[in-house]
Structure 1
């Protein structure tokens, strides 16, 4: 009996071709061919898929480890601000916005791209920490029909650097300050 190297079928000793898959079992001189064509590894498709999946998993784990170890934590990141409430820092450029009006008013103050809203009556004061801003924008509007003056002032180090007012009923006023 001769075992076919391709399909493993047991053929009769006189067979030149495999009876199952027609693989050539002898050469032109009638000598039996070596059952192995090459001495390399012979892996099935399933084993190859498992090896490729194992390599992919190892690569993903390695990438995840490298990514997580190279990212800054919250304490060293420049993009994350943490505050435990115990530290009080004074800004390098402390600005104060003051709204004065004998009635109800509504205002927006701060960086033109990030305005903080506030409403009140009478005199209102808001500390603006503008150290990183290029501009300061303040706007206020009357919320009643009083014709008294609505005044907004921008203070820097306790000195008025910009001021604007209106006496119109329902009027609004604004300041755009570039420093």
Structure 2
């Protein structure tokens, strides 16, 4: 009797194929085929195994990235301040506004001292500064046309003037540093 390695059926010793599942038991010369492989073994090359493992790692990283990005607070949420008593003080996203009031040509650098925005223009203008409520704010502005009119710079926080300066000097320069 010959036991089929696939289904375990006991076949007669002269059987070429398993009577139960038609599995090949002998080769073309009548020799018994040695079918002693373990069931459910990985019968793939090492390169395929590496590709599968790398694919799993890449999918895991993509899923982690997706979950991480979707669970981060929005920019507006990160600008909230938690006070000593544990309450949350919601603030405007960008509470600071710079106002340059001059009828001539001017140049200014303003914002967080580490990341100053550079602006130039003619006539009065307002700029919303990309600063959080707790940031230091700096404004360095000067006349470009050496005019004799009043050159005035204001810093507003949530609509209220928190710092201002003016000059009538022809080479007028104003520097404002504000710490909340």
1:57 equivalent in alignment to 2:51: yes
How big is the shift at 1:165?
2.7
Partner secondary structure for residue 146 of structure 2: coil
Aligned residue pairs total 123
TM-score (normalizing by structure 1):
0.56
Q: Does 1:70 align with 2:71?
A: no
Q: After alignment, is 123-132 or 151-160 more displaced?
A: 123-132
User: 2:163 maps to which residue?
Assistant: 162
Gaps of 5+ in 1: 1-40, 42-49, 82-89
| Equivalent runs, 1:1-179 vs 2, <5 Å | 51-72=45-66, 76=70, 78=72, 91=92, 94-128=95-129, 130-131=131-132, 133-179=134-180
TM-score for the superposition, normalised by structure 2: 0.56
| Structure 1 contact 91–130 (Cα < 8 Å) conserved | no
Aligned-residue offset at 1:60: 0.8
Relative to 1, partners in 2 of residues 1:100 and 1:147: Cα closer, same or farther, differing over 3 Å?
same
Alpha carbons of structure 1 residues 60 and 132: separation in structure 2 relative to 1, 3 Å:
farther
| RMSD over aligned Cα atoms | 3.0
Provide, for residues 57-93 of structure 1, a one-character-per-residue CA deviation record: whole Å limited to 9, x for no partner. 1221111111111112697264987xxxxxxxx8256
